[in-house]
A and B are shown apart, each in its own frame.
Chain A
Amino acid sequence: AQSVAQPEDQVNVAEGNPLTVKCTYSVSGNPYLFWYVQYPNRGLQFLLKYITGDNLVKGSYGFEAEFNKSQTSFHLKKPSALVSDSALYFCAVRDGEAAGNKLTFGGGTRVLVKP
């Protein structure tokens, strides 16, 4: 079984301040972890992923995430948020040792960046 938790429904941050969106996961095997962003009335856009290697992953639009195996977390971060980062963010996990390519998504976190 695999699951993802995004404990915050919404995160509010002032423009220019650091942004963190939290994600914890549970899988039986090796976790493959992903972050996606959804702008209003749009599809999901891929931001970054962790499959193996360096625990700090850098992605699109200045976002990064750190894989922490002991805390089973994969928090998304951006050093300086922009108003245009306001969107819905999804964390997703796949069990790398399971057959198939099933992604399980968290419930999403809405980010609001205020000018």
Chain B
Amino acid sequence: DTAVSQTPKYLVTQMGNDKSIKCEQNLGHDTMYWYKQDSKKFLKIMFSYNNKELIINETVPNRFSPKSPDKAHLNLHINSLELGDSAVYFCASSQVVDSPLDQETQYFGPGTRLLVL
């Protein structure tokens, strides 16, 4: 059983297109995240949702819009893709409330490799 899963695993697309990446966690966690890892492996948080509510929104272009239909899913929609959006996008989840033994630990998905041509 995959704890945090992402689809697709690879995404190759043209500039200007709109695409979505999906993330699902079956850990029962209340918080989910999106991270971007650039070509130099630098990892930076983009968004965080707690129980479907946005709690972290870093300085990300508004072409990126996260959507959380329920607390087990956090999707990332990207409009008007640009060359600089090429990266690996990681979804993660954690249990923030009422979890003293495992609090704070974020569990990551396998990543979605996005290449914009």
A14 at the interface (CB under 8 A from B): no
> Nearest Cβ distance between residue B111 and chain A, in whole angstroms?
5
Interface of A with B (CB < 8 Å)? 32, 34, 36, 38, 41-46, 49, 51, 88, 90, 94, 100-105, 107-108
Q: Are B45 and A102 in contact, with the CB atoms below 8 A?
A: yes
B-side interface size class:
20 to 34
Interface of B with A (CB < 8 Å)? 4, 31, 33, 40-45, 48, 50, 55-56, 90, 92, 94, 96, 103-111
Which residues of B lie under 8 Å from residue A88 when comparing CB positions?
Answer: 41
A44 to B55, CA, bound (A): 22
Known: A88-B41, A101-B31, A105-B44. A44 touches B104 (CB 8 A): no
A51 to B85, CA, bound (A): 34
Q: Are A42 and B111 in contact, with the CB atoms below 8 A?
A: yes
